[in-house]
Structure 1
Amino acid sequence: MSITHLDARPAQGNDPAPVLLTVEEAARCLRVGRTTCFALIRRGELESLMIGGLRRVPADAPAVYLARRRAERHAA
């Protein structure tokens, strides 16, 4: 699986792939806990936004985070 295809859950039937993930779904994508995911968001390492009172993570943000971490590791 390439990092561009990270998703919290596969699209089912005619359901389109999600554009926004809950924090819990993003955490599942990254295989980390909810608390760790919120810490990444708080530090600005994982993109998120508020919609009403709900915190959402763009569906491509986990892949972007992973790509950045991999680039940092290779640069070191």
Structure 2
Amino acid sequence: MTTPPDTTTAKPRELLKVEAAAKRLSVGRTTMFNLIKAGHIETVQVGRLRRVPDTAITDYIAKLTAAQHAA
């Protein structure tokens, strides 16, 4: 008999699909692709797949926050 994995200690994913990254920012898929294309959010390529590092989302949120506090 196997036990299910302990989700309380599971690490969050470090590379997200574009759709998952968009969901994390509460924006649509098209908006996320536009942010990537404009260079606002960094991505990495894994084989033929495009992924968004978890840190790229955190960095983008920090930039938005800093820009709004500076204004």
CA deviation map 1:16-57 (0-9, x unaligned): 321100000000000000110011001110111111111100
TM-score by length of 1: 0.77
Q: Structure 2: any 5+ residue segments left out of the alignment?
A: 1-5
Larger Rg: 2
When the two structures are aligned, how many residues end up with a matched partner?
66
Flag structure 1 segments of 5+ consecutive residues without an equivalent.
1-10
Is 2:37 the counterpart of 1:49?
Answer: no
Q: Please tell me the root mean square deviation across aligned C-alpha atoms, in Å.
A: 1.7
Match of 2:16 among 5, 21, 40: 21
Counterparts of 1:51 and 1:31, CA distance in 2: 24
Runs of 4+ in structure 1 over 6 Å off: none
What is the distance in 2 between the residues matched to 1:47 and 1:73? 21
